[in-house]
Amino acid sequence: MNALILKKGREKSLKRRHPWVFSGAIERVSGKPAPGETVEVLDAAKKPLALAAFSPKSQIRARVWSFDAAEAIDAGFFRKRLQASLRLRAQLPAAKHTNALRLVHGESDGLPGLVVDRYADVLVAQLLAAGIERWREEIFDALVESTGCEAVYERSDAEVRKLEGLPARSGFARGNRNASRCPIVEYGLHFRVDVEQGQKTGFFLDQRENRQRVRALAAGREVLDGFCYTGGFAIAALAGGAQRVVALESSAPALEVARENLAANPLDASRVEFVKADVFAHLRKLRDQGKQFDLVVLDPPKFAPTAAQARNAARAYKDINLLALKLLAPGGLLATFSCSGGVSGELFQSIVAGAALDAGVEAKIVERFAAAADHPVALEFPEGEYLKGLLLART
């Protein structure tokens, strides 16, 4: 078998079971492994450490399949890993309240580069690394076999595939049906998910429990939902008894789905105003008009995918939080989020603290938010914890 021999002292992260091997840690490559091929990872003394998928174009030169150098990496291996992921999800409380769950969460489920979300009877898969790409057919076969879902829609169109030297690809990998509006249920609320054109895999499943929390807090409040996408938080707030909801979104197609989602639920649509606007500009407009809200939700897109972009992202996060805090009535609540992997929880709190200082507002953290439990974080892979949020109470 081809092998990667590490530089002396560079095996420490692997011994802590971190699944990534960076190019700078490699002394040399033994043999000529093809992209995605399984290779042995050896320390400088040639002692086996792991089996990993080789990715010659990426800075993450290898992603570990197994820390057991004797394990067979074959179709059976992927079937076992998938079945373990499914067993975990079946045990989660959310499985009783929704037919939409994340079934595979990449490295944290021992399947680096693979994301699989289930929307009712449709699976949406993202293959984001050379190793998982090499086992594409076997993985799709195992998914159909393990879940009973006949339709698998592939959304391997994320930018990260370019770093792996892989072309973008999307379309049905198994089965075929109209999946542009896939109906799901979440805690009694009905949503339509556009798995073909929507962001990521079509819906932000990671915010499921946080939508429920906003629903519980919304009764009698005037609510502002910035970056509402297809209306998840806005509809949850309305279902929770919000007096009025103003929901902002720059994407016309997303707002079209949001209105369909609203219509799919027995709610008073007259209490929701969907506004197509640049969120930053519209927040300033509302500030200048002297508007105030009792509950503000900020769930912006990923401003900083990597730590290198965190500096520029900090300015954007500060701006929107400063504006939101100015729009927050005394005694009001701000639920603010960051899904940027490059922004740590500590940095995010510091940014929001700076925004409050500049806004001249005093606020306290009363809760912290994270991704739903079907987005687990492996203890040895803290990078998997990308979504963080704060619930602030203005004093």
Is residue 127 assigned to a domain?
yes
pLDDT digits (tens, 9 = 90+) for 49-102: 999 999 999 999 999 999 999 999 999 999 999 999 999 999 999 999 999 999
- Domain at 45, CATH number: 2.30.130.10
Residues 6+ apart with CB under 8 A from 90: none
Within this chain, do residues 210 and 244 fall inside the same structural domain, yes or no?
yes
> In angstroms, rounded to a whole number, what is the distance separating the alpha carbons of residues 394 and 124?
40
pLDDT, tens digit, for every residue of 106-136? 999 999 999 999 999 999 999 999 999 999 9
Any domain includes 92? yes
Confidence label for 48 from pLDDT (cuts 50, 70 and 90):
very high
> Domain boundary at 66, 84, 102, which?
66
In-domain check, residue 195 = no
* DSSP state for residue 34 in the 8-state scheme: P
Are 44 and 14 within 8 A, CB to CB?
Answer: no
- The structure tokens 């008073």 sit at 268
In the chain, how many domains are there?
3
What is the rounded CA–CA span in Å between residue 7 and residue 241?
Answer: 60
- Catalytically active residues, by annotation: 339
Specify the pLDDT at position 99: 96
Which residues on adjacent β-strands are paired with residue 153?
124, 172
Which one of 147, 180, 213 terminates a domain? 180
End-of-domain residue from the set 25, 40, 66: 66
**pLDDT tens sequence across 329-355:** 999 999 999 998 888 899 999 999 999
**For the residues 250-265, what does the mean pLDDT come to?**
95
Distances (CA, A) of 134 to 34, 139, 267, 377: 10, 10, 47, 25
Residue 263 domain flag: yes
Average the pLDDT over 200-220 and give the result: 96
CATH number of the domain at 145, please: 3.30.750.80
Cβ neighbourhood burial of 29 (10 Å; 0-12, 13-18, 19+): middle
pLDDT at 304 > cutoff 80:
no
At residue 305 the predicted structure's pLDDT band, cuts being 50, 70 and 90, is: low
Domain that holds residue 59: 3-66
Cα dihedral value 240, 242, 247, 252, nearest 10: 60
Instruction: Please give the pLDDT value at position 262.
Output: 98
Between CA 214 and CA 233 the distance in angstroms is 7
Reply yes or no on whether the pLDDT at 308 is more than 70: no
Is 42 in contact with 3 (CB distance < 8 Å)?
yes
Amino acid letter for position 112: P
